[in-house]
Amino acid sequence: MAIPRFGVGTFRLQGQVVVDSVRNALELGYRAVDTAQIYGNEAEVGQAIADSGVAREELFVTTKIWTDNYSQSKLIPSLKDSLKKLRSDYVDLTLIHWPAPGNGVALQEFMTALAEAKAQGLTRQIGISNFNIDLTRQAIAALGAGEIATNQIELSPYLQSHQLTAFLQEQGIAVTSYMTLAYGKVLKDPVLAEIASKHQATVAQVALAWALQLGYAVIPSSTKRENLASNLLAQQLVLDTNDMARIAQLERNGREVNPEGLAPIWD
């Protein structure tokens, strides 16, 4: 199963806010929803999905295992708890949220436990998030080529991570971009504004279209229905070679998320 190109994210959304966001997204035609154990909103996401009337088999739901649950004894029970909150017998994709190299659980242990969750039918696909090249190589070595569906990583016009994305694409591992708008920082970029004006598009649409044209999946979030609808239109926006070249020049290693003790040494 392919990773959907366009989904809705739920990072930092809580309570009724996330219920409304996911409900609006599903009404607008989104069919992929991304959450995580640490977001503390799986139950609300599950509620929004249940209330939507959209058949479960039409949806692609992703969650992520938090670092406290990486041990072999905890990973599967924690995922089963996530499934209860999500009101589903399975998720479509489960990711290891951060490599967390210092948390005392070996990569081999948590990747093997994740593969066991897939074998038990708790998740259709498995993958990783925030892994560098070396750790991705280790994950491939642990499970075999073809088992890792995606690496979900921070990417934006300000953080393009050419080495890592090229490696992932060589390995046949889908790239999922989060924070594609860099916490909104790219929305004020004059180059992106010029490209947006040329195409009669929004800057957000340009940033998302840039990622899509590079072959990445995107999971932007919004609390506003109009922005959720507008973001979807990025799928129809075609940037030309000159646009893509100009955006390539915006690289500034502008990483927004780099938690100490959880993040790897970046490539």
The CA dihedral of 182, 183, 184, 189, to the nearest 10 degrees, is -30
> Tokens 């990711």 identify what position?
95
Token duo for residue 153: 């990583």
From 39, 158, 178, 216, the catalytic residue: 39
Partners of 9 in beta bridges: 34
- Radius of gyration (Cα) for the chain, nearest Å? 18
Distance CA 191, CA 222 (A): 23
Cβ atoms of residues 26 and 52 within 8 Å: yes
> Tokens 């489960």 identify what position?
94
Token duo for residue 250: 């915006």
| DSSP single-letter state for residue 71 | S
Number of Cα atoms under 13 Å in the Cβ half of residue 261: 5
Number of Cα atoms under 13 Å in the Cβ half of residue 24: 21
Q: Tell me, yes or no, if 39 is annotated catalytic.
A: yes
3-state secondary structure of 95: strand
Cβ atoms of residues 119 and 76 within 8 Å: no
162 marked ligand binding residue = no
Distance CA 58, CA 60 (A): 7
Cβ atoms of residues 64 and 92 within 8 Å: no
Partners of 64 in beta bridges: 95
* One-letter amino acid for residue 215 of the chain: G
Binding-site sequence positions for substrate? 97
Catalytic residue positions, numbered: 39
